[in-house]
Amino acid sequence: MHLIQTIRRGGGLQKEGDGGLCRNLFRKERGRLRKTATASVAVVSFALLLAACSSSPSKPVAKAKGPIKIGMITSLTGPYTPLGTNDKLGAVQEVNAINATGGVNGRKIDLIVQDDTTNPSQAVVDWKTLMSDGVVAVVGPVFSSSCMAIIPDVQASKVPSVDTCAADSQVTPARKYVFMTPPTTLIVGKQLLAYMKAKGITRVAVAHDTSSFGEAGWHEMKAEASTYGIHFIYDGTFQVTSTTFTSILTAVKSSGAQALMVWGAGPAEVGLTAQFRAMGLTIPLLFSHAEASMLYTKPAGAAGNGAIIASSIGGIGPYLPSSYPAKSTIMSFANTFKAKNGYYPPEFAFDAGGAVAMIAKAIKENGATPAGIDAALNHMTITTGDGTYSFSPTDHSGLTTNQVAITRDTNGTLVPTKFTKAMVG
């Protein structure tokens, strides 16, 4: 029984060098059986030992060594440079924090960053480059049109991508291997509509850019508007590179709208804000979470004062009550970021840092393979600077409207409105 128990415990014997472990066991067993066993028992025991030693081990002995390669696609040039730059800063910060504590399962993370130049075609090239580099997962892109462009390659490669863009169509319905960290345009749109309803606003004009993000935000909000008693009475479009908004704002001014809702991301919204004020418009000016940072408030300056801006919960970290579940996580990341970069982290830094944290947790739980990471992400609950996510095979966005704050630009700082203060306690 001694030998049988040994074999069962080990699930098969692993060879030591050139069979050293097996030779030692043969010698020990031969001596024991000479003293205690009958001939028939000896034959059975030696047969079991021979089978165990000649079989291959059920699991490899050697553990993977060297860094774990994680890819990143973001916009370091082109119109989305401010977004992509902060994406990279947030991701690098999280990687450095993980590596400083020994990495994941004893292995450091090697972050390989590619620039899509705010161009979907380049993002596809970047994805192929990262696959040839042997990455096990990818963070980004931040440009929604790039996110949509790489989906066929993501699914063909079976390598999970945790995107930092906010176009719902990438995860609605849930797509294999595609996840996202920003709040979806759907939940942001619902929260903005709820705010408008609370303020008694019923007639709204909208302006949106023609990116996947701008289109998605507008269509999601339009589909939900009647539920909140909101009517959109004007719809104007612009390009992400637009600098003049006179025709849109003239139409808004004469429309009788009680507010202007803007969906877009990048520098165009700063120009729109300046021209909105210059034309004497005084109705509320509302933006999506893409403007939830000093990347908007600083260049907008006095013109942006009073603008209503949706934000992930991380955007109002300093104003959250100490009892708020995610506050310590948010402020730990925010304080490190501010100390290093001189300003409070924008939405994009939280998005990318959170994406790295998700991938690291998946590796810790399920190993550093694309399949293992994907399986872990599909059932992950995690708190990051954007809030608490609950992913499932049918939900690859993970957040709810309670993770979306409605803020007011107050002299360049995002301050929660009374609407949001009542929500967070």
pLDDT digits (tens, 9 = 90+) for 322-334: 999 899 999 999 9
pLDDT digits (tens, 9 = 90+) for 242-269: 999 999 999 999 999 999 999 998 789 9
CA dihedral 234, 238, 242, 245 (to 10 degrees): -10
Confidence label for 313 from pLDDT (cuts 50, 70 and 90): very high
pLDDT digits (tens, 9 = 90+) for 46-102: 444 444 444 444 444 345 679 999 999 999 999 899 999 999 999 999 999 999 999
Average pLDDT rounded to a whole number, residues 361-374: 98
The closest of 188, 214, 69, 67 to 139, measured between CA atoms, is: 69
- Report the relative pairing of strands 381-384 and 387-390 from DSSP bridges: antiparallel
For residue 148, pLDDT over 60 is answered with yes
> Average pLDDT over the chain, rounded to whole?
88
Higher pLDDT, 312 or 64: 312
pLDDT digits (tens, 9 = 90+) for 388-423: 999 999 999 999 999 999 999 999 999 999 999 999
Q: What is the radius of gyration, based on Cα positions, of the chain? A: 28
pLDDT digits (tens, 9 = 90+) for 164-175: 998 888 999 999
The domain segmentation of the chain, as residue ranges, is: 2-54, 186-321+405-424
186-321+405-424 in CATH: which number? Answer: 3.40.50.2300
